[in-house]
Amino acid sequence: MPETRQEFIQTPPPQYVSEPWDCPQSIENATFTINVPELPHSPLLGTLNDRRLKALPELPHSLLLGTLNDRRLKALRPLRIDFTKECDRVVAHATELDEFGFGDNLAEARSDLQRAIVELYFSLEHHQDRLGADLQRVWNILKGKIESRP
């Protein structure tokens, strides 16, 4: 078994960390320890450990959501989704609708948000004659971006 050494990675400061869970208020100076095998140094590639640590995946700041994965609904225009990371969870936020999805990774958070938007659409459609001003605004946005399939 190859010999191992400890590498220390300092995380960059987050855009923000909110307070809903029991997580540290700031991870600006947090340090994580991981064990990586000692690999030989190559004059062409440098130390392979250094290259592997630089390739850690980053969360995209936002994307456009063009499908809801529900056969009953058709997206007419995409919704902008912002992503953040809080503690060990990914949060997907549809800012226009103020709707959230959560997951252990980006795909789970996006799927959870898609389900939430579908539920919101059908709930508002069912109660559209009794909506207050704020929910009426959300319903108007949804009607402009999503339609029911016949």
At 4-34, the pLDDT tens digits run 555 544 444 444 444 444 454 444 444 444 4
pTM beyond 0.75: no
142 and 121 in contact (C-beta within 8 Å)?
yes
Q: Give me the residue label for tokens 């995946």.
A: 57
At 23-63, the pLDDT tens digits run 544 444 444 444 545 545 544 444 444 444 343 356 778 88
The domain segmentation of the chain, as residue ranges, is: 4-54, 62-148
Region of poorest pLDDT, from 48-57, 64-73, 126-135: 48-57
Helical H runs in the chain? 48-54, 106-126, 133-145
